[in-house]
Amino acid sequence: MADRKVVSLKAASAAALLASGLMLAGASVANAQKAEPCIGASLELTGPLAHTGKQIVMGAEVAIDEINAAGGVLGQKLKFLAYDDQGEPSRAVDNGRRIGEKDNCIVMIGGFRTPNAIALREPIADMGLPWVGVISAGTSVIEWDKGENKWMFRVSMKDRWVAPFLVDEALARSKDKKLALVYEATAWGQGAVPDVEAAAKAKGITLVGKETFNIADQDMSAQLIRLRDAGVDTIITYMVDREATQLLRSMERLGYKPTIISAWGISSQLGKTAGNLTDGILVAGTFAWNGNLSPRAQKVYEAMKAKYSLTSPNDILLPSGNANAYDAIYIIAEALKIAGAFDREKMVNAFYKVKYEGLTANFDPAFEKAAAGAKTERHDAIKPTQYRMLAFHENVLKPVEQTPYKR
Amino acid sequence: MEQVIQFILSGLSQGGVYALVAIGFYMMWSATHAANFTHGDVFMLGAVSTVVFGEIGVPLILAMPLGIAVSAVAGALIERIAVRPFNHGPSSIGWMLTTIAIGLMLESALTATYGPLGRPLYSPFAQSPIRIGGSGIYAQELLIPAVAIGLMVLLELFYRHTILGRAMLAVAANPTAAGLMGINVSRIALIAYAMAGAVGALGGILLAPVSEASSSMGALIGLKAFVVAIVAGISNARGVVIVSLGYGILEKFIEGYISTAARNSIGFGILILLLLAFPNGIFGKREVSKV
Amino acid sequence: MTPRLQFWLVLVLGIAGLYLFREMGPTNYAIGVLTRCLILAIVAIGLNILIGQAGLVSLGQAAIYGVGSYFAAWLALRAGFGFIPAVASGIVAASLVGAALAYPSVRVRGVYLAVITIAFGLIFQNVLIEWVPVTGGTLGLTGIPRGEAFGVRLTRQIYFWVAAGCLVFAFILQYNLTYSRYGRAMRATAQSANAASALGINVANTRMFAFVVSAALAGLAGGLYTFLNLFVNFETFTFFQSISFLLMVIFGGVGTLTGPLVGAGILTYVPELFQEFKEWQTFAYGAMLAIVMFVMPAGIVGSLGTLADRLTSKARSRQSGAWPAADALPKDTTKPSATGSLVADVKGYTIVFGGLTAVSQASMRVEAGKVHGLIGPNGAGKSSLLNLMSGFYTPTAGSMSLLGQDTTGWKAHDLARAGLARTFQNTELFGDMTVLENVLVGFHGHYKTTLIETLLRLPRFGREEKAMAAEAASLLALVGLSDYSDELAKNLPFGHQRRLEIARALATRPKLILLDEPAAGLTHGEIEQLKVLIRLLTERGVAVVLVEHHVDMVMSLSNEVTVLDYGEVIASGPAAQVQDDPRVMEAYFGSGAALEDMRKLAETAGAVA
CA atoms of B108 and B115, how far apart (whole Å): 9
The C-alpha atoms of residue C65 and residue C68 are separated, in whole angstroms, by: 5
Which residue among C111, C190, C287 places its CB closest to the CB of B230? Answer: C111
Angle CA C383–C385–C388, to nearest 5: 110
Asked whether the beta carbons of B217 and B118 are under 8 A apart, the reply is yes
> What is the C-alpha separation between C171 and C176, in angstroms, rounded?
9
Of C239, C283, C383, Cβ closest to residue B105: C283
Closest to C50 (Cα-Cα) out of C248, C222, C296:
C248
Is A230 exposed, middle or buried, given 0-12, 13-18 or 19+ CB atoms closer than 10 A? exposed
* Delimiting residues of CATH 3.40.50.300 domain(s) in chain C: 326-594
- Among A50, C243, A240, which residue's Cα sits nearest to residue B109? A50
| Residues B187, B193: Cα–Cα separation, whole Å | 10
Please state, in angstroms and rounded to a whole number, the distance separating the CA atoms of residues C388 and C292. 48
Contact C36 A94 (CB under 8 A): yes
Task: Say how many CB pairs under 8 Å bridge A and B.
Answer: 103
CB contact under 8 A, B135 and A221: yes
- Measured from the Cβ of residue B154, the count of other Cβ atoms closer than 10 Å reads 11
Rg (CA), chain A: 22
Per-residue pLDDT at C222 exceeds 50: yes
Chain A positions touching C279 (Cβ under 8 A) are 45-46, 50, 54, 84
Residue C482 amino acid letter: S
H/E stretch holding C90 reads: helix C83-107
**Contact between C138 and A84 using a beta-carbon 8 Å cutoff:** no
> What span, in angstroms and rounded, lies between the C-alpha atoms of C27 and C15?
19
User: Strand, coil or helix: what is A340?
Assistant: coil
CA neighbours closer than 13 Å in the CB half-sphere of residue C599 = 7
3-state secondary structure of C457: coil
pLDDT score at C75: 94
| Cβ-based contacts of C155 with chain A (< 8 Å) | 1-4
Least confident of B238-252, C216-230, C310-324: C310-324
Instruction: Give the closest of A84, A88, A187 to C281, CB-based.
Output: A84
Q: How many CB atoms lie within 10 A of CB B273?
A: 11
Write down the pLDDT at residue A40: 96
Per-residue pLDDT averaged across C590-595, rounded? 54
C-beta contacts of C184-188 below 8 A and 24+ residues apart: C184/C433, C184/C437, C184/C440, C184/C441, C184/C444, C185/C441, C185/C444, C186/C49, C186/C53, C186/C54, C186/C55, C186/C210, C187/C53, C187/C54, C187/C55, C187/C430, C187/C432, C187/C433, C187/C437, C188/C430, C188/C433, C188/C441, C188/C444
Angle among Cα B244, B249, B250 to the nearest 5 degrees reads: 95
| B contacts of C252 (beta carbons < 8 Å) | none
Average pLDDT over residues C296-308: 85
**pLDDT (tens digit per residue) in A121-132:** 988 998 999 999
Alpha helices in chain B (DSSP H): 2-32, 39-55, 60-78, 94-113, 139-161, 163-173, 175-180, 185-211, 219-232, 237-253, 263-277
Q: Of B97, B230, B288, which has the smallest distance from its Cβ to C289's Cβ?
A: B97
Q: What residue ranges define each of the domains in chain A, with the CATH number in brackets? A: 34-157+305-383 (3.40.50.2300), 160-291+388-402 (3.40.50.2300)
- The pLDDT-based confidence of C116 (bands split at 50, 70, 90) is confident
CB of A49 within 8 Å of a chain B CB? The answer is: yes
Per-residue 3-state assignment (H helix, E strand, C coil) for A189-252: HHHHHHHHHHHHHHCCCCCCEEEEECCCCCCCHHHHHHHHHCCCCEEEEECCHHHHHHHHHHHH
User: CA of B1: which chain A residue's CA is closest?
Assistant: A225
Within 8 A by CB and 6+ apart from A46, the residues are A84, A86, B108, B111, B112, C279, C281, C282
Side by side, the strands of the sheet bearing A105-109 are A79-84, A36-43, A105-109, A131-133, A152-154
Rg (alpha carbons) of chain B, rounded to whole number: 19
Mean pLDDT, rounded, of chain C: 87
The b-or-e profile of C548-566 (16+ CB within 10 A means b, else e) is bebeebbbebbbbbbbbbe
The region of weakest confidence among A14-18, A49-53, C465-469, C481-485 is A14-18
Q: Which residues of C touch B108 (CB under 8 A)?
A: 279-283, 285-286
- Mean pLDDT for C123-148 is 88
Dihedral sign from CA coordinates of C533, C538, C539, C540: positive
> Which residues of A fall within a CB distance of 8 Å from C281?
45-46, 84
Query: What is the CB-side half-sphere exposure of residue B67 using CA atoms within 13 A?
Result: 32
Contact A112, A134 (CB under 8 A): no
The answer, yes or no, to whether residue C595 has pLDDT greater than 90, is no
pLDDT, one tens digit for every residue, chain A (407 residues):
334 333 333 433 333 333 333 333 333 344 445 889 999 999 999 888 888 999 999 999 999 999 999 999 999 999 999 999 988 888 899 899 999 999 999 999 999 988 899 889 988 998 999 999 999 888 888 888 777 888 999 999 998 899 999 999 999 999 989 999 999 988 888 888 999 999 999 999 999 999 999 888 888 888 999 999 999 999 999 998 889 999 999 999 888 999 999 998 888 888 888 888 999 999 999 998 888 889 999 999 999 999 999 998 888 988 999 999 999 999 999 999 999 999 999 999 999 999 999 999 998 888 988 766 556 678 999 988 899 999 999 888 889 988 898 87
> Could you tell me which residue, C315 or B167, shows the higher pLDDT?
B167
**Alpha carbons C364 and C514: distance in angstroms, whole number:** 13
Provide the residue type at B253 as one letter.
F
Whole-number Å distance between alpha carbons of B99 and A108: 37
Cβ separation of B112 and C283 shorter than 8 Å?
Answer: yes
Q: What gap in Å lies between CA A139 and CA B226, rounded to an integer? A: 40
Please check whether residue C140 is in contact with residue C132, taking contact to mean a CB–CB distance below 8 angstroms. Answer: no
The subunits that touch chain B, with at least 3 C-beta pairs less than 8 Å apart, are A, C
Distance from CA of B212 to the nearest CA of A (A): 7
Contact B230 C286 (CB under 8 A): no
Nearest CA in chain B to A226: B256
Q: How many CA atoms lie within 13 A of C358 on its CB side?
A: 18
- Return per-residue pLDDT of chain B as tens, 291 residues: 778 888 999 999 999 999 999 999 999 998 988 999 999 999 999 999 999 999 999 999 999 999 999 999 999 999 999 999 888 876 677 888 899 999 999 999 999 999 888 888 989 998 888 888 778 899 999 999 999 999 999 999 999 999 999 999 898 888 888 888 888 999 999 999 999 999 999 999 999 998 889 998 998 899 899 999 999 988 888 999 999 999 999 999 998 888 888 888 899 999 988 888 888 888 887 655 555
- Altogether, the residues listed in chain A come to a count of 407
CA distance linking residue C284 with residue C345, whole number of Å? 66
β-pair type (A234-238, A259-262): parallel
DSSP structural state of residue C490: G
Interchain pair B86, C297: CB under 8 A:
yes
Q: Which residues of A touch C229 (CB under 8 A)?
A: 90, 93, 119
The whole-angstrom separation of Cα B203 and Cα A331 is 50
Among residues A302, A299, A353, A297, which one has the least CA distance to residue A320? A297
**How far from C392 is each of A86, C71, C191, C414, CA to CA, in Å?**
51, 41, 17, 11
φ, ψ (nearest 5 deg) of residue B38:
-105, 45
What is the distance between the alpha carbons of residues A320 and A55, in angstroms, rounded to a whole number? 9
Q: Do C110 and B231 touch (CB under 8 A)?
A: no
Query: Which residues of chain B are within 8 Å of residue A228 when distances are taken between CB atoms?
Result: 134
Q: What is the pLDDT of residue A8?
A: 38
**CA dist., res. C189 & res. C203, Å (int):** 6
How many other C-beta atoms are found inside a 10 Å radius of the C-beta of residue B150? 11
Query: Which string of DSSP letters, residue by residue, matches C365-424?
Result: EEETT-EEEEE-STTSSHHHHHHHHTTSS--SEEEEEETTEE-TT--HHHHHHTTEEE--
Beta strand ranges found along C427-540 (DSSP E): 512-516
Contact B260 A212 (CB under 8 A): yes
Contact C123 B279 (CB under 8 A): no
Q: Is the pLDDT of residue C121 over 80?
A: yes
Rounded Cα–Cα distance for residues C422 and C426 (Å): 12
Phi, psi of A152 (to 5 degrees): -105, 125
Pick the closest to residue C44 from C234, C237, C218 (CA basis).
C218
Amino acid at B95: W
Q: What is the pLDDT of residue C101?
A: 87
Q: Which residue of A has its CA nearest to B263?
A: A214
Task: Return residues 135-154 of C near A (CB < 8 Å).
Answer: 137-140, 142-143, 153
Look at phi and psi of residue B215 and say left if phi exceeds 0, alpha if psi is from -120 to 50, else beta: alpha
Domain C326-594 fold is Rossmann fold (3.40.50)
Contact A60, A107 (CB under 8 A): no
Identify the pLDDT of residue C338: 66
Residue of C nearest to B102 (CA): C286
Window 247-266 of B, Cβ < 8 Å to A? 252, 255-256, 260-261, 263-264
- A133 contacts A155 by C-beta, under 8 angstroms: yes
